[in-house]
């Protein structure tokens, strides 16, 4: 199957986060002689960081991107030696294009997200899904015993409380004396725990808020 490969991407339909996967799949088929992304100006902004691709701004008309991509893909195949085309979109509007290219003896690798309709998948010689990487869950922060106690105290007050009430409550509940710690006072303690708490206000009006994503 090795031979010249042309890549056509519906940039209105696919995120630029798939750029690397697309170009690697294309290179596995043969030398990539052309890789082009089509779309409106705002849709192609993310693709500007993908140096392997060139761009075609399709304008803002209805189906402008689909029409521009289909016309240029057909023209390119008719005027250049191309063994394979990588057609990237989750849009079923390219079914006829895929069938047309295959009728000319071109191997069509379709690439799109899992929402791609079955008829588009069937129209290609082969079809591969583009899947977004799962976000890496944040590492759980292991809180010190004192941090756990302060978190518990503020949470019991509805997640927010006056700064001036922290000292008596912490002494009453846990016999914690802030002056005996490295922080010396509660304002300094909370400023050093910005991942857990937020403070606002000054003087007697200062309040401490527990951040919503904090667990015990």
Q: What is the pLDDT of residues 111-128, one digit of tens each?
A: 999 999 999 999 999 999
Tell me, yes or no, whether 88 lies in a domain: yes
Asked whether residue 105 falls in the same domain as residue 37, the answer is yes
- Report residue 59's pLDDT band, with 50, 70 and 90 as the boundaries: confident
Average pLDDT over residues 177-205: 87
The residue count for the chain? 216
**Per the domain annotation, does 168 fall within a domain?**
yes
Q: Are residues 17 and 122 in the same domain?
A: yes
What average pLDDT does the segment 150-169 reach? 90
Q: Is residue 92 located within the same domain as residue 11?
A: yes
**C-alpha–C-alpha distance, residues 8 and 209, integer Å:** 51
Q: Of the residues 129, 162, 185, which one is the last residue of a structural domain?
A: 129
CA distance 88 to 181: 60
Query: What's the pLDDT at 181?
Result: 85
Q: Name the domain count of the chain.
A: 2
Structural domain includes residue 216:
no
Based on the fold, state whether residues 154 and 61 are members of the same structural domain.
no
Residue carrying structure tokens 């002494």: 171
Q: Write the pLDDT tens digit of every residue in 124-152.
A: 999 999 987 765 555 566 788 889 999 99
Handedness of CA 21, 25, 26, 28 (dihedral sign): positive
**Among 74, 99, 129, which residue terminates a domain?**
129
57 DSSP β-pair partners: 39
Contact 112, 21 (CB under 8 A): no
High-pLDDT (> 90) share of the chain, %: 56
More confident call, 141 vs 10: 10
Same domain, 173 and 118: no
- The answer on 24 and 84 residing in a single domain is yes
Residue 205 has pLDDT above 90, yes or no: no
CATH of the domain at 202: 1.10.10.10
Band of pLDDT at residue 1, cut at 50, 70 and 90: low
Residue 106 has a pLDDT of 97
Same-domain status, 17 and 113? yes
Domain span at 41: 5-129
- What separation in angstroms does the CA of 150 have from each of 87, 126, 146, 177? 56, 58, 6, 12
Q: Residues 34, 119: one domain? A: yes
107, part of any domain: yes
State the pLDDT at residue 138. 56
Task: Give a yes or no: residue 140 inside a domain.
Answer: no
pLDDT at 203: 81
94 shares a domain with 118: yes
CA-based torsion, 173, 176, 177, 178: positive or negative = negative
What's the number of CA atoms in the CB half-sphere (13 Å) around residue 38?
A: 22
Q: Same structural domain for residues 120 and 178?
A: no
């Amino acid at each position: 199957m090795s031979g010249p490969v042309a890549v056509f991407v519906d940039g209105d339909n696919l995120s630029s986060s798939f750029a690397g996967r697309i170009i690697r799949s294309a290179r596995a088929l043969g030398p990539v002689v052309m890789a082009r992304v089509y779309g409106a100006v705002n849709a192609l902004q993310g693709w500007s960081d993908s140096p392997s691709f060139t761009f075609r701004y399709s304008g803002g008309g209805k189906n402008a991107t689909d029409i521009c991509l289909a016309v240029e893909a057909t023209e390119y195949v008719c005027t250049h030696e191309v063994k394979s085309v990588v057609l990237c979109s989750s849009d079923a509007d390219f079914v006829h294009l895929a069938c047309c290219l295959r009728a000319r003896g071109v191997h069509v690798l379709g690439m799109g997200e899992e929402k791609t309709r079955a008829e588009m998948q069937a129209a290609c010689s082969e079809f591969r899904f583009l899947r977004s990487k799962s976000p890496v869950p944040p590492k759980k922060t292991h809180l010190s015993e004192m941090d756990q106690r302060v978190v518990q105290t503020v949470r019991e007050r509805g997640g927010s409380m006056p700064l001036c009430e922290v000292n008596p409550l912490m002494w009453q509940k846990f016999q914690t004396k802030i002056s005996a710690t490295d922080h010396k006072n509660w304002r300094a303690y909370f400023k050093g725990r910005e991942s857990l708490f937020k403070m606002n206000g000054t003087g007697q009006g200062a309040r401490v808020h527990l951040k919503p994503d904090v667990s015990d």
